Each structure stands twice: as structure tokens, then as C-alpha cells.
Structure 1
Amino acid sequence: MAAHQLKKLALALAVQMAAGIPTVALANQIDEVVVTATPIRDSDMAAIEAKRNADNYVDIISADTIGRFPDQNLADSLGRLPGLAIERDQGQARYINLRGAPFRYTSIAFDGIDVPGAESGRIPRFDSFPSVITSRLEANKAILPSMPGESIAGHINVHTFNPFDTEGWSLATDIGGGEQDLGSGDVDKYSLRTSWSNENVGVVLFGSQNSREQVTDTREYDLAQDSSGELEVNELDFRSYKVEREDHAWGGRLEYRSEGALQSLFLSTLYSEFVDNEERNQYVFAFSTPQQGLTGEGAQVSVSRLLEDGQYENSTFTNTLGADLQLGDWLVEGRINRTETQFDMDLPIPRSVGGSAIASYDLTDIEDPTLWLDRDLASIAFPVTIGLHYVQALEVDTDKFKLDAERPMSWFGQDATLKIGAQYDTREGDGYISTPVVGAFPSSVNIDSFNTGKLWDANTSNTIGATYFDNRGLRSAWEASGTLTSPVIGAANKILIEEDILSAYAMTTTHFDWGNVVIGARVEQTDYTSEGTILDGPLSVSDTFTNVLPSAHVNINLAEDLKLRVSASTGISRPTYNEWRAAASVDIADREVTGGNPNLEAEEAMGLDVALEWYFAPASIASVGAFYRSIDNVIYADSSTIDGGLYLPSAAGESWTYTGTVNGDDGRMQGIEFNFIGHATDLLPSPFDGLGFSANVTLLDTEFKGIDGVQYDLPGTSDLIYNTSLFYEKYDMSVRLNYQYRDEWISPLEDPSEYWGEQKRLDLTAIYTLPMELGGATVSLYANVNNLTDETDVRYAGNGTINQSESYGRYYLLGFRVNY
């Protein structure tokens, strides 16, 4: 069996970082450790030991563990931690729900520097960041005063690679290729990381590129039920998406270390970009009168066709200059950071309307609706084609100045550590919400000439005989005609927000024979100005508010292998820049306002966490935890009655209707979670000692009171989440089968009356490490299969009828990794 030499083992680094001990101070104390070829067990051991020594309730996943899951982005990787669920877009992981909570309740940081989300100024999209840039992920579920207050559910800290993690020169590369089953699209994965260090100087450079071509087979429905409960069919919508999604990342770190007062001086950079190229072929069949029952014949339908070639793009560019100073007993860490995020959407769509046909349908298999026409689909004439062009953009520039200091002290006769810090963020968001422009499509462009005649790739029945159009060629012809131009953005759709956040905290960690206690508080003052236009006149709304966020954490060693944690913490969730914009459309005649809400209040939360952790064997754990959050000012979309004077001074005292984002009351989130990781190494004889199993389950209950006094579930929450893995590693081989499940939930990005049905995923990964080194390098071959059971994801309307089903097929990836 080949042995892998790991200088300054990640286990030691993970343990001391999670415990809050300065990395620089311990850098010379970490000895070289030889680790045998049990990578799953070794990475589990590192992560579990770091969790065990942490001062708060946290779950950790190491880079080696990430490498052994079939993941391309951080959303997939994080979704395997206890209590984390995933929200997907066209089958691919995008957002994470920490503890099943709304994704707006979780913040993200890179090496301790929190960054805003590109799409909204707040909410991070985790599909924008590939897994390969990380050395470790920390999901903090109980928040310390040293962490951002904008973390009601938790705080994700992404540790990137440090050049001093490995002594001398190192190289790691990953090259993979595969295929998406539906549509035979290419799947590619490339990454390279190299580093060099001596006692004083270290440098690391890394880059990655992932791409995935897929077909998304979609059916949408407009259904209802009559008074007797019989199904009514109003509309059937057939779609096929050809999608190519790419992410690119590069970065590096240059660092100097010494044993003097200047312990460390570094410059780090990270750029990550996600690009979604999307072609949509769509036909909508609207019945002239509602059809009764699961089957029907001879019905008149109007037909429309939409052909899109669009792009979504978001990027994050973050740069940090940092220094660590040992000034007597004080370790002082200073950081200056500049982060730029950008989001752009560009969706030009020719929409042809006015077609007609006679149709028969069968919805017996509701996820595979069939529709037959009395004529060939390609022969349907569309008398009118409209040119639709949707655009959206947001650019957020953030400057951050961060100072932390800590020193040992004595507290009531006990050894303790005092940590204090301050942070100043200044942010500016500039952009506009999704804006449609409607115009005539050029008659000089013959859309039918772009019909390729190739039938759709589909998991469902293509009974309408739909074929693909050359959407890119069609867009090029539209552009060449000179009529596809950039839309003029209306004042009611613009976003212009300036925000300053000043934070300060103090905390002490006091050590006892039985464990430790962490107490402290964080104060955050937010000052913002939102500028916009109402009724063609300027509007500027400013406000300043302060939040005091205390917390306490008690970690008790009940026995050598048994730990009890009790934490009380507080947090906030500020409105997104889309929600806070001071721009809206005003209908004076109907006394209606639609748009942003610059007076929206931040959500405020108080919470309690209790966890019992049993470390019953090396690399193994069994734990149970309970949590509760009380949330005020819950942010959600609704309509409310307002004073018209807020938008039109002459209408003061009049009751107007506002449609947009409002604050609810009396929110709560409570649940219980179980986690188990077990290895048979110390329990079973060979060859069964390579077996292992992990499972985690979260049960969640949420509610809040809307402005109408009705109780609702918090958006994005599932009542049940669980993940399981069965794995085997021995003889230089490791195989892992992983299953993820979440039950139904409401997506906050869509109609709040709609909800997604349960989602399941089964993935398989296998790795074989060659039993010899090649020039001092270890080589591993791997195979990943995602979505083994070829799942179909389903969404439902508020009336309980299905309104969308979509499937994507399996995808396969083969590749190799080289580590030197």
C-alpha cells in the first residue's frame, strides 16, 4: 500500500485554527506526519478533531473529503454536512439552506473576510465558487462575536490554500472529462495548484475551470380544480433548455513570515466567475376553454413559441492585504480588503403568437403529459412575432478595514484569552432589477429558416414533434438587423444604494478543567442611503440603526469522549439591495405602488443551541443537537396598505396598496439534528475494516405571521432533511455512495404560493490510487456518477396542482489527480 507524505498535516492545522490559536504561533511546532492510504478516514479524523476542539458549534469538511465527493461547486460540497439542504436550478446546486433555514440567513467569508452576494448584495450563490479552491469549509451554526452579525442561521468560512501548508514545492492537478446522459453534453473539469515555501517566504497559485453541457427537459402546467374536485386544464407548456454552465477561478497568495514582531505579511487574491449560457425552445398551448379531466380530445388551442439565446453571469473579485503582529502579549491581525461583485443577465427572446391547432391530451402520467396536434408543429403559422429583451445588472463595490487583537489573561483565577476587534465596511450598489423591453421583431429575419429539424432530446414524450432551432444563429441575425439594442432602464427599476457598516466586538474565552466558556458581544451600526425616482421626481431615503448582538457559549467535557455544548447567540439579516431600492412604479389613479421598500427593517434574531457530541472512536462521532431561533421583522413578499404620502406628498393620509417586500412578525425556527460518522477500522477484521457509514437528519419546524395575520412557513425551509453515505476504502481504493433528501419547501425567489416537491439525489464516486509513486508524485484515478436514479424535480401551485416538472438525466465524469 502506498503511503502519502503530508507535510504539516491538515489535521494539525484544522485543530489549531478551529480552536482559535494563531496559525503563525504554531507553525514551527507541527511535525511531519506520515498518513497511510485511507483518505476518507484521515480527512474525517481531521474534520472531527477540529470540531471537537472548537469554541462554538461548528461542522467542518476538509479538502480531501471534498475531493472524494462528485462535486463541482461549494453548494454541493456543503450540502453533505449535517443540517444543510440545497436549492437547485435546473438540477444543479445553487443555494444552501443551513439547518434548512432560508438561504438569506447564511453569510459567506473567504479566510475570515465576508463578501456580499453578487445577485442581490447579500445572498451568496454557492455555485459561483468551485470546490477545488478550498482547503477547508467551516459551517458555524452558533455565532461568535468575532463573526459577522448577519448570520441568523450560520456563517460559512472558506479557507483557501496557504503556501505554508506544505514545505518546499508542491503541485496538485485534477483533470476530468465526461458526459451528461440527456443530450450527450460534455462535462469537463480542470484544476491546478502549485506552491513553494521555505522558512520565511511562501507563494501559492491556483486556477480551475469547470464546464457542463446539459439538456433540461421541462413541462409546465396551468391547472385548476372545479367545485367537485375534477381537474381543469387551462394550459400546457413544453420546453427544452440547452444549457452550458461554466465556472472559472484563479487566485494566489504571497506571504512573508518571521519570528520578530512582524509575524506575517501577505497579499491574497481570488477571482471566481460563473457563466450560464442558456438556449430555450418553448411552445405554449392555451386551451380556448378549460378542459375537464385527465384526458381530452378535439380541443381548440392557441399556440405561442419562444426562442431564447441568453446569458447569466456573476463574478466575485476579492483582494486582501494582511499583517499579523506580535506586540508584547498582543497578537494583532490587520486586514484591508477590496471586493467587487458583478451580476449581469441578458435574455433576448423572439415570441411568436397567434398560432392555432386542434389538440388531444393525456395527463394520466402527470410528469409526462402528452399532447397530439391535428397538424405538423412546424406548419403552424404565427402572424405576429414580438421581440422581448430582459436585462438585469448589479455591481457592488466593498472596501473593508478589519483589525483583531488577542492576548492571554487571567479571569477569576482561570487562564483566559481576551479578543477584541473592529471592522468598517463601505459598500456601493449600482444596477437595476429585471427589466423587460417589448418591441417588434424584424420582418427581415425568417425565423423558420433557423429550424434545424432535429427532434428535442427528452426524457418525456415529445408527442408534439418539437425540433430545435438554431437560437444563436437567430440572435445573430436579430443583432445584424440593428433592432436588438440595449434597453433603456426606467427610473422605477434602478438600484443605487450606499451602505456603511461599523462593527466592534469583545469576547473572552475562559478555560476550566471541565471545558471553556466564551462570552462577548458585537455591536453593528448600519448607515444607508437609497436613492431612486418616484413619479419622475428624485427620492432619497436614509437611515441609521444599531444592533447589539451578545452571545455566550459553554463547552463542557462530560467525559474524555463526551462533550456538551450550550450556546445563546443573536443575529440580523439586512434587506437585499433589490428590496431596499428607493424606486417604484406608482399608479395614481388606482392608488397602487409596486417596487422597492427603502423603509424595510432588518430581521433580528435570538437563538439557543444545545448539542451533545460523543467521540466514540477515532474519526467517528455520534451527536444530537437542538436549536431555536426567534425572528422579528421577517422579510417576505406581499401586498400591504400604506400611507400614500410616502410616495406622493399630496396623498398623505390616503390608503394606498403597496406590492413588494414587507416585514412580518413573530417568526420562529426550531429543530433537532442527528449526526453519525463511523468507521469499522477498529471493530471488524480485514477486509471488512474498510467499511464506513455516515448519516445526518434534521427535523425542522418554522412559522411567521404575515401582515394579514395569517401564519406561514419561513420561505425555503423543509421539515425534513437527511444525507447518508456508505463507503469502503482499502487496498488503495475508496468507493462512496451518497444519498441526499429534502421534503417540500417554498422558494423565496418565486411565487410564494408555489412550492417544490421533495427532492432526492443518489451519487457514486470511486477512486483508485496507483500503488507506486511516479517521480515522487501520487496518482489517483476516479469515476463519478451523479443523479444515478435520474430524478424528476416537481413544483406545485398554491391550489395543490402540479405546475412544473423537469428532468436532466445522469452525468458521468472520469479523471485523474496528481499530487506532488
Structure 2
Amino acid sequence: MRRLLFLSIALTLQAAAATATAQEASIATEAIPSQPLDRALNSLSRQTGLQFVYTTQVTGNPQTQAIPAGLPPEEGLRQMLSGTGLRYRYLNSTTVTIEAETASSAPAKAPAASQALAQTAAASPRAEVTSEEIETIEVVGTYSRSLEQAVDIKRAKIEFSDSIVATDVADFPEQNLAEALQRMPGVAIERNKGLGSKVNVRGLPSEYTYVSINDLATASGSSGREVEFDIFASEIIQRVTVQKSPSAADEEGGIAGSVQISTARPFDYDRGRLVVSAEGAYNSISEETDPKFSFLASDTWGDFGALVSFSRAERTNRTDSTSGINFRPMSRFLGASGSRGTQAADVLARDAGVIIRDRTDTDETNLIVFQDKVGDRVYLNDQEKWGATASLQYKPGDRFSLTFDAMLAGFDTTEDEYDAAAYSASSRSTLETIHEYDATTLSEYGMVVLRDVSYTATQHEFLSKERINETDYGQYSMALDWSGDTWAAHAMLGYSGAEKTLDYSNLKHVAYAPSRTRWAGNSGETVPSASPNTIDMYNAPERYLFEAYETTLEQVTDDKYAAQLDFEKALDLAFMPALRTVQVGARYTDKSKERNYGELKITGPSAGDTSWVNTRTLADSPLQWISDIAPGGDYRMKDLNWMQVSNEYARGAFRYPGFATPFEDGQYYRVDEEVSSLYAMADMAFDLGSVPVTVNAGARYVDTAVLSFGYHQVQNADGSTGYTDSPVSRKGRYDDILPSMNLSAELLDGLLLRAAASETLIRPALTDIAYRRTASWNSFRFTDGNPDLQPTYAKQWEIGLEKYLDHGGLLAVSYFHKKIDGVVVNSLTGVVENVPVYNANGTLNGNYDFDVYQPVNADGSYEVDGIELIAQVPLELLHSSLQGFGINANYTMLDSSLAGESDLGISTPMPGLAEKTYNLTVYYDNDRFDARVAYNHKDEYVESIGYNMYPIWREAYGQLDVSIGYRVIENVKVSLRGINMTDEVTSGYTMDPSFPTMYERSGRRISLDVRSTF
């Protein structure tokens, strides 16, 4: 286990002014005897107020020289470290790092003013803390100070990593933790209706990132392993480190990286602390103002300490969207029996000159596409989110601590979607007239796109959808840290769990009539056709017949237990002086994810009643204008207004007494996973000529056992399909040895060469392992789980240069390479013939052949190369008049051979992978005022592949955020913040921008925050 000693003292300017003159020459009041390094630095910190930062991987814990009383700090340190092979270096006026000594460089001197200031403080030193905690938590924090602390963390770690600490996490206009992370080098986020939800590291998909909180793998109740960051409030997080090169001690490295989240502990603070914050935030589209409140209280009593924090927020966000405009293959019409198929072929020949040789040949018909659906949609998202942490610590000294950490969170959201849509590909329809077609744009793939078409029987829909998501999250852990003169031990027991319930309903009214659908501007539109039977789809409620009130219910339970034990031994071997420490450890985790799912369609006023189907109309329910249902007024995407049934009315009117959505055996699954791992690693420090080198090398053995349960589909004697009477289980197993090495070398003072190489893995999503079958009735497809899935592996290496500047400045460049094997893709693995498909009213629609798809590990390797640039520059380095100004910028560029899974052989990047991301923050701050302008950009990426054939792209997105803060008095700060100030839209397209699929606007968000610190 890596350990850092950080001796932290609270300094006050009043004390400095009173004592600096009297104590300039000598501050030591007593001699410091010969003793181990950690004890000697404790003593010196008590006398000087200096903060000392070091890692035992580099220094060990050697015996130091005795130093007499009365020496200045620099002379005392020089004598203390004499003969140990170590040196000291000032990071700033009060912080000193202990490092491996070089033959050519002398200890750096602190400026005279800094020496005087450092000599004024006297307080109890802070005890030893965990390996990443090197920041001081101050009463008055600034953004520039948080950047300095993050740079200190980066420099002290031997791995490639980047961090943000409390001030930056909580003091910017983020709506959740995902948005706080987007400003870190190589980190981008996925947005859902204006809200950051998932995190991508170095452009790779979110499922390639491993997430832990307080060293415990995080559950969130998602369908895969990725963490839904929108459930976590950023205010209760103390520090986040994104580690991009693993060590053997890490539970899993993650192919993209590892996000390590830490919450605060009472001994992180030099004294008692109370922080209270209140905020109101206004959304420009919903025109609602949302409250948020948070507080943190911490104190210590001798050897004991306690901390609690809490945050609660409400959010009402409206998003206006045109979407759903995807490609649909012409096999939908051409493959139909009777006149529908022959008419489609005749119209193609007549209006587009396209001659169909074989209507049943999908290799031919899949290359002719038309619009699947055009929708005008209003989303209203109401969220209630709360989070709390608690920490109890017992620390009788610097060598022992026992800590209990707890984190609880709740995330409840109700999303109303009001959708006026035209489903061009309805089962009753076919082509009537092709007004415009495009055989040029996608000609390299042999594709013809029907841009503007009239259809014989478009399925016009009014959909009132309601999604209720309730997530409860809890995590508890107990950590023990002990260190002796040469031995150290760490133990941890922990639990992480999430329970999620998703209640979905959709009130569906349908009108079949001829219509004309086409691409127009940024989206698509449906207008009346030339047919005498056409309708104005937005103004004909009496033509819309009730089809069903569809309901689904899903419950997910996600539990993870973990136990870890580590031992570290500091060495001082005459025959191998370079070997400083060895570390061994073991970890056991037990994970279980269980899912229940069911669906039921209400078709009448009682169970089994179908009297409403095709008799009740949309006009029979009370209707409201969409501009009145959703706060914020008019629909902003088009000059449209229409009337629908509100979800509030639908839930009360259509759910009859005693109604409940039953769970279905065929949708159930449970996956149990046990992982046992052992690791060993060593730390070495030596000189190559005049260059000090530090090396960490080791290997981790991982053994994984999987047990998957699910009801399996069977064929009954009468030819119908059913499921087994009880769950059927399947086992899977794999084991691996994962080596890793990290190296750093200080080529010149402040110029660090860093290198890393490792093999790492990311495990398949538990929902992919699940032994079950799900059906997509509209797509005529079954999807099976695969308990035999293996992890996705990566062999990776990275090399970089980092130049550390004064005042927390940093310039860094690195090049990384990843070779990825076993990417999980969905593959056609079989066909089930003559599957009956039923209409909403229970009548038989027909028997169809269903393709069976299954997640499999793809053959071959894929490679990712990337460059990452970081520039964190306080501008006072250029000129003293620019003190307080600074730039924090980063840029990541990828070149990848990762391929998407297009059945048409269309070359496409892996879904979710963006080639370029960058962030730029320009700031000014002082003790009273701060201002920041930040811009983050994520390049376009493939969001999904429609029908496994047509890549659907999410366009590049850039967002401008601002923050202005003023400290009214010492302990009270007022901040004005803005998110998405340029009111950017989220958009996408299929294969070419001239075929847009979505265009949505979520608006700006302006907040006013008052924070008090005592």
C-alpha cells in the first residue's frame, strides 16, 4: 500500500505578522534526536509549521540524523536527511516534498518571505492519511489553490493520473458529479437531455471505465457495469482522481482508466468545520427555479473525529426535441406479402428508377432506406436528489487509524414525454409516391435514400409517456491503517449497493391515414399528402383511436461486498539498495445483480377487458395544449402546438383499481460473480547518472467465477413457446495474471519523465452475461445472454513529459497506445422460425422468423493511439501584473482502429468513441473575488448502429459555462453561475449530416449560490 505523510498546519496572517520578526533566525525550541523519518518530520512540523509530503514507495522510512535545536528549517532538513539518499524541495511557501536525492541538484531554497511565513506557525501535525490525500482543506479555498493541490497529487503519484479536489468539485456550475469531472484531462461526458450522465475517459466508451468510491467498487443499478454519475451530488465529494495507468495494487485498472472518488474525513481538517450552502437555479426553457441545499460539519475530539455532509437538490428541466428520424430498410415493405410488397417495388421503379430483382433478398433491399419515424417531442424532467456522507475516525497517533465511512444517496426522477409522431413504416402502409430520392450521398455504399415520400397508411401517434425512476444507493466501509518503523498494514471491509425501480407507462392513440414525410432543415416533418383521405396529424383528435395504455415495471438490485488486506515492508538492503519497499495483498469481492421485469397493456376499464381498443378516441379524454402541459410555453423547435392527454390524468384514469404490472419469468435474471485476487509489487529508487529514477512493478492474479440464472425458453408440445418452471443456471470462469510497471525519472529540476506499461481488463456487463432471452417484437429479434463471455483485455503503454512550474503550474504531454482484444459485440447466432406475433388487441399479427443475437467476444485486436496535452499556467509566471489570472487547458486526440458492428460492412468507429476532446478554463481569483469561463468540447461519435447496419452519429458538442464569486465577508461567499450560456443544441444524424436524426434544446441554467464557512 502506498502511503503519504502529510503534515498540515493552519496558518494565519495575524500570527505571521506577530512572530515573523522575532523568529527569523531560529525557530526550533528543542533538538530532534535520531529516529525514523516519519517521527522526525512530525517533530519538525510541530516546530516549524511546514507541511511535508512524501511516499514510502520512494523514501521508505529510514533512520534520520539527529539535529540540534535552533537551526533554520533548511539547515535542519539538510542535516536530518544526510546519508539517507533523500532530499527536500519546496512546493510552495509551506509545503515541502521529500524525494530521492540527485547527485547534481542541491535542495531548493524557499524564498526569504516564504521562510519567514513558514516559521510562524505552531500546531499539532496532521496524522498519516491515505495515499491520494495530499491536499490541505482550508477555510478559504480558491480555484487556483485547488489546481495547485491537484498538481501536487499528480506529481506525488508514480502512475499517470489527474485529480480535482474539493474546491473545484463543488465550486463550479455543475449539476452532478459527471459534469464536475468533464474538466479533467482526457475526460468527456455523455449528455442526456442537457444533463451529464456518464463519463468517458480518453474518448473510450463509458463501460471501459472502472469506478470506485473510497476504494470500493461502485454499484448504481444500471444495466451494465458503468456508473450513472447523475445520482451523485458533487457537493458531498472531496476528491476525484482519474488514474490512467494501473499498478498491481489496483483492483481493476479499467481499459480507459479508473475513476477513484473519495469523500471527506474528519482528520482531513486542521480544526472543526461547518460549511453551509444554498442555491437557486433557473432553467431558460422550463422557466422554473430549482433549490439546492448542502452542508458539511466536522470536528475532532482528541483521538476521535466525526464528519457528516448532506446535499439535497431539485431540478426541473424541459427539453424540446425533434427525433426518431432513423433509417428503415425497404425490406420492411418489399418483404411484405400481397399487394404491399409489389406496390412498393412498382413505386420504386416508377419514381426512382430502382429495379428490385428479388424482394426477399435483404442484401439488396437493406440498401434502400426511408424514414422510420418523425417525432416532435417535449420532455419534462423533474428530479429530487439527495446525498449524505458520514465518517467516524479513531486516530490515537500518526501510526494508526480506524475509519468508518458511509455514503447514502437517493435519486428520484419523473420524466414526462409528450410525443406527436408519424410512423412511416407502419405494418399497414407502403409507398404511394416518391417525391425526392438520393442515390448520390451514400453511393459509396450502394445505398439509395428516399428523402421525401408519401405513404398510403402512415401510423400517426400521440404518445403520453411517463418514466418514474427511483434509485437508492448505499455504501459502507471500515478501513484500518497501521504503520511501524518498517512495516505497514491496511485492511478494508465494505459493501456497496443500489436498488432501482423503473415504472414506465405509455398512453398510445393511433390514426392510420395517408401522409407525406420528409427531411426538412435540422429534422423531419410530416404534412398532409395529396391523397383525399389524408389528415392534419396535429389537429384531428377524433381520428385517433385508443390502442393501449402500455406499462412496464423493472426492479434491479445491485450488491457488492469486498474485503482487502495489504502488507508493506520498507527495506534497506546493503546488497540491493535500490529496493525500497515490497507490498503484497489480497482482495475478495462478491457481486450480485438481480433483475425483475414485466409489462402489461391496459385495453379496457378492467383486467382483460378490450372494450376501449379502436372505440375510444383521443377526443374522449380531456386534452390540453402542449404549451400548457409543460411549463415554459411554446414548443421551441417548430411553429407547432398540439393537444394531448397529460400523464397526471392518464395515470389516474387508465389504471383501474387493483392494477399492478406483473413480473415475467422470461425477463428475470440474476448474475453472481466472485473474484479472488492476489498481488505483489515492489518499489525501487536509484540514480541513472545524475537522474533519480523511481520504479513500481508488480503483477496481479485474478480468478473470476460467474453463476448466471434465468428462465430459459422452451418449445411446448402444442408448438407454442414457454419458459422453464424454475431458473436455469450456467457457470463461467476465467483467471488471469495482469502485470504492470510505472516509472518516473526527474531529468532536470521540475522536469519529469513518466512511463507505464500494463495489461488490464474490463469485465463484460452483467446484463450481457445473464442467462436469459428477451424479445424485440417490432424488430423480429431475440437477444440471448452469454455466460461464457470473457473480459475485454488491453495491453497498453504510455510515455510522457511533465514540466512543473511555480505556483502550481504544469505543462505535460503524453502518448499512449492500447491494443484491445475481446471487444464484446452483438452477433447473429441463430434463427427461431414461425414465432407468433400479436397485435395490441390480442389478435394474431402473423408468424415470423426471429433472428437470435448474442453478445460475443469479437475476434482480432483493435488499437487505440492517443496524445494528451495539459497546460495549467498561472499567468503571473509571465508577468507579476497578471497575478491571479490563469489558464487550465487540456486536449486529447485519438486514432483508433476500433470498429463498429455494421452488418453492411460500413467502416465505423466503436460506438461511444470520440476522437477529440478538449477543455479550456480561463480564470481570475484572489482572496475575495473569482471569475471563470470554461469551454468543453467533445467531438462527434457513433451513438448506436441502427438495425446493426446504419451508424447513427451524435454531432460534436461544445458548452460554455461561467462562474463569478465574491466573498462578502471572510466566511460568506456569493456566486453567480451559468451552464450552457450559448444555448447549444444536441444533434445527430445517420451516416451523413444531411440525414438528421435528432435536434434537441435543453436551454441555459443560471444559479445563485450563497456559501458560508465556519
Q: TM-score, normalised by structure 1?
A: 0.89
Q: 1:586 to 1:797 in 2, by over 3 A?
A: closer
* Aligned-residue offset at 1:97: 0.7
Q: Deviations over 1:447-496 (max 9, x none)?
A: 654423352645634444224643123212223x23742233132x2111
Q: 1:78 to 1:33 in 2, by over 3 A?
A: closer
Give yes or no for the alignment of 1:719 onto 2:912: no
Aligned residue among 839, 854, 860 for 1:660: 854
1:651 maps to which residue?
Answer: none
2:874 maps to which residue?
Answer: 679
Contact 2:322 2:376 in 1 (8 A): yes
1:648 maps to which residue?
Answer: none
Q: For 1:229-268, what aligned pairs fall within 5 Å after superposition?
A: 235-259=373-397, 263-268=400-405
Q: 1:282 to 1:553 in 2, by over 3 A?
A: same
For the residue of structure 2 that corresponds to 1:148, the secondary structure is coil
1:408 maps to which residue?
Answer: 570
Give yes or no for the alignment of 1:503 onto 2:677: yes
Aligned residue among 993, 996, 999 for 1:805: 999
Q: 1:437 to 1:749 in 2, by over 3 A?
A: farther
Q: Deviations over 1:491-543 (max 9, x none)?
A: 2x211111110011111111234131000011110011111222223532112
* Aligned-residue offset at 1:568: 0.3
Aligned residue among 500, 511, 515 for 1:354: 511
* Aligned-residue offset at 1:585: 5.3
Q: 1:271 to 1:609 in 2, by over 3 A?
A: same
Q: 1:123 to 1:381 in 2, by over 3 A?
A: same
1:292 maps to which residue?
Answer: 435
Contact 2:409 2:472 in 1 (8 A): yes
Aligned residue among 477, 480, 485 for 2:653: 477
Whole-angstrom CA distance in 2 between matches of 1:740 and 1:31: 27
Aligned residue among 502, 518, 521 for 1:365: 521
Give yes or no for the alignment of 1:453 onto 2:625: yes
Contact 2:780 2:851 in 1 (8 A): yes
RMSD of the alignment, in Å? Answer: 3.7
Contact 1:352 1:382 in 2 (8 A): yes
Whole-angstrom CA distance in 2 between matches of 1:395 and 1:50: 36
Aligned residues: 794
> 2:814 is matched by which residue type in structure 1?
G
2:983 maps to which residue?
Answer: 790
Could you tell which deviates more after superposition, 598-607 or 458-467? 458-467
Whole-angstrom CA distance in 2 between matches of 1:185 and 1:17: 53
Q: 1:368 to 1:233 in 2, by over 3 A?
A: closer
Q: Deviations over 1:626-664 (max 9, x none)?
A: 1111111101233235999xxxxxxxxxx9963132211
Q: For 1:68-107, what aligned pairs fall within 5 Å after superposition?
A: 68-107=171-210
Whole-angstrom CA distance in 1 between matches of 2:875 and 2:783: 60
Give yes or no for the alignment of 1:175 onto 2:175: no
* Aligned-residue offset at 1:344: 2.0
Q: 1:14 to 1:349 in 2, by over 3 A?
A: farther
Whole-angstrom CA distance in 1 between matches of 2:207 and 2:409: 21
Contact 2:274 2:1013 in 1 (8 A): yes
> 1:473 is matched by which residue type in structure 2?
Y
Give yes or no for the alignment of 1:781 onto 2:974: yes
Q: Deviations over 1:345-391 (max 9, x none)?
A: 111111111254767x7854224858577476264432233121123
Whole-angstrom CA distance in 2 between matches of 1:35 and 1:284: 55
Aligned residue among 594, 604, 612 for 1:430: 594
Whole-angstrom CA distance in 1 between matches of 2:255 and 2:919: 23
For the residue of structure 2 that corresponds to 1:754, the secondary structure is strand
Whole-angstrom CA distance in 1 between matches of 2:224 and 2:637: 41
* Aligned-residue offset at 1:797: 2.5
Contact 1:564 1:612 in 2 (8 A): yes
Q: Deviations over 1:7-60 (max 9, x none)?
A: 99x9969876998999985379x9998979771221111110111111110001
> 2:866 is matched by which residue type in structure 1?
G
Contact 1:192 1:207 in 2 (8 A): yes
* Aligned-residue offset at 1:179: 0.9
Q: 1:291 to 1:620 in 2, by over 3 A?
A: farther
2:767 maps to which residue?
Answer: 578
Q: 1:227 to 1:724 in 2, by over 3 A?
A: farther
Q: Structure 2 unaligned segments of length 5 or more: list them.
A: 1-11, 17-44, 62-124, 329-351, 355-366, 437-450, 529-534, 606-610, 715-722, 834-848
For the residue of structure 2 that corresponds to 1:66, the secondary structure is helix
Whole-angstrom CA distance in 2 between matches of 1:185 and 1:283: 24
* Aligned-residue offset at 1:579: 0.3
Contact 2:422 2:526 in 1 (8 A): no
Contact 1:217 1:240 in 2 (8 A): yes
Aligned residue among 865, 887, 891 for 1:697: 891
Could you tell which deviates more after superposition, 306-315 or 756-765? 306-315
Could you tell which deviates more after superposition, 283-292 or 70-79? 283-292
Contact 1:4 1:37 in 2 (8 A): no
Q: Deviations over 1:664-694 (max 9, x none)?
A: 13122211111111111233243x3222112
Aligned residue among 723, 737, 741 for 2:933: 737
1:518 maps to which residue?
Answer: 696
1:219 maps to which residue?
Answer: 322
2:33 maps to which residue?
Answer: none
Q: For 1:541-690, what aligned pairs fall within 5 Å after superposition?
A: 541-584=730-773, 594-640=783-829, 658-665=852-859, 666-686=861-881, 688-690=882-884
For the residue of structure 2 that corresponds to 1:207, the secondary structure is strand
Whole-angstrom CA distance in 2 between matches of 1:580 and 1:230: 35
For the residue of structure 2 that corresponds to 1:26, the secondary structure is coil
* Aligned-residue offset at 1:423: 0.7
Q: Structure 1 unaligned segments of length 5 or more: list them.
A: 645-654
1:650 maps to which residue?
Answer: none
Identity among equivalent pairs (%)? 22
For the residue of structure 1 that corresponds to 2:942, the secondary structure is coil
1:465 maps to which residue?
Answer: 641
Aligned residue among 113, 123, 128 for 1:26: 128
1:761 maps to which residue?
Answer: 959
Q: Deviations over 1:164-214 (max 9, x none)?
A: 112332101111002100021232221111011133000001111122101
* Aligned-residue offset at 1:759: 1.1
* Aligned-residue offset at 1:298: 11
Give yes or no for the alignment of 1:417 onto 2:596: no
* Aligned-residue offset at 1:706: 7.2
Whole-angstrom CA distance in 2 between matches of 1:34 and 1:389: 49
Aligned residue among 657, 661, 675 for 1:486: 661
> 1:782 is matched by which residue type in structure 2?
S
Give yes or no for the alignment of 1:283 onto 2:420: yes
Whole-angstrom CA distance in 1 between matches of 2:229 and 2:663: 31
Q: 1:738 to 1:15 in 2, by over 3 A?
A: farther
1:319 maps to which residue?
Answer: 476
Q: Give the number of the structure whose alpha-carbon radius of gyration is greater.
A: 2
Could you tell which deviates more after superposition, 51-60 or 279-288? 279-288
> 2:223 is matched by which residue type in structure 1?
S
Whole-angstrom CA distance in 2 between matches of 1:577 and 1:202: 39
Q: Deviations over 1:570-612 (max 9, x none)?
A: 111111111001112599xx99852211121111111001111
* Aligned-residue offset at 1:565: 0.7
Whole-angstrom CA distance in 1 between matches of 2:418 and 2:14: 51
